[in-house]
Amino acid sequence: MRAWYIPSRTGDFRLEKHPEDDEFCILTTEDMTPDEAKRVKSFLVEAKTRGWVDSSLVPASGRHELVVRSTVRQAGPILAADVLPGRGVLTVVKSVKGTVMAVVDETQEPESVTPKVEANPKDKKLDAAVTVQRPTTCCPDPIPVEGPLKRSSRVLREFCTPSQWRSWVDHGFLYCIGQLTGVRYRIVHREHPLAAKQGKICRDLDNGVTLHFYNCWVPPAEEVLAAKLILENREPWLRNEATFFGGGEKFKNPLGMGGDGTWDAMLFSGIGSLFHPPGKVLLEPYGSGEDPMTVINAYMSQFD
């Protein structure tokens, strides 16, 4: 396996195959928050006990690379479990030929279930994996976090079809098909005028209903990535009584009840009111004062 990505608040933790030794990999960390550094340390402690690294020290800031004496496929599930603990965690892999498939979903607490990649058939060589966390359901006022747009968009590109990626680059949104319902979803950049119009980033186009979930604590491309992969592979996580209030098929919430996310929404709404007046629609990306589509198009153009 070439790489394992784990989207986070400021970018991605990445495990990539060592360029000179297929049995080793390189862990790359960039500008970690204190909480992220704590979680990476948990992985390094485990890696040290396995003889994969010599030290469990975690760099405080900046970009760092560490050689891990293990393959990406062996180390990836352990890093994912330490960095994204808890329920509602999904790992998706793609093959060298481009086939994308979900292989792990963490619906139990990590103490009782350790994520493991299923053995792949010999005729399906795995290329890259990404582990994402389910967005929080319900509706807070947004408090967007600044993030590495180009770096986070690279990961989104890895797991998009050519048409999805082109739509993202050209328009700031992409379409996907629900795993069980077969409905068409449109998922947009959270600063896009469509997001303001429909209230959230995801719209069921067949039924004309907005889905109520968010993840304002990661860069926009990674919020879209998680939503896309979950809707395509674990649709009930984001289409249930806590998120979907219109006509059309609806599932029971497998990770909670109808009030799932309500407490989080109340908390973040209160925090958000300190930064943005109630009722104000945040359309200026990161306080730039520019038209949102001008800003979106400017950074999308980097990927042409």
Residue 70: the pLDDT is 96
pTM of the model: 0.80
Go through 131-158 and write b for each residue having 16 or more CB atoms within 10 A of its CB, e for each that does not.
bbbbbbbbbbbbbbeebbbebbbbbbbb
CA distances from 94 to 81, 101, 154, 171, 224 (A): 19, 6, 15, 25, 18
Write down the H helix ranges in the chain. Answer: 34-49, 72-83, 149-158, 162-171, 193-198, 220-233, 262-275, 292-300
pLDDT, tens only, 125-173: 889 999 998 988 766 555 555 555 666 788 899 999 999 998 988 888 9
pLDDT, tens only, 237-289: 999 988 888 878 889 888 765 555 444 444 444 444 444 444 333 333 333 44
Query: In whole angstroms, what is the distance from residue 191 CA to residue 186 CA?
Result: 14
Of 37 and 50, the one with more pLDDT: 50
Return the domain boundaries, the chain.
3-133, 136-303
Residues near 17 by Cβ (< 8 Å), separated by ≥ 6? 1, 2, 3, 24, 25, 26, 71, 72
Percent of all residues in the chain with a pLDDT value above 90, rounded to a whole number = 36
Number of H helices, E strands in the chain: 8, 13
Q: Which of 91, 84, 78, 161 is nearest to 128 (CA)?
A: 91
Half-sphere exposure of 38 (CA within 13 A, CB side): 4
pLDDT, tens only, 64-91: 899 999 999 999 999 998 888 888 899 9
Residue 84: the pLDDT is 87
Q: What is the DSSP string of 233-291?
A: H-GGGTSBTTT--SSS--B--TTS-TTTTHHHHHHHHHHHHHHS-TT----SGGG--S-
Query: In whole angstroms, what is the distance from residue 26 CA to residue 99 CA?
Result: 25
Q: Which two tokens stand for residue 196?
A: 């303001």
Q: Which two tokens stand for residue 106?
A: 């963490």
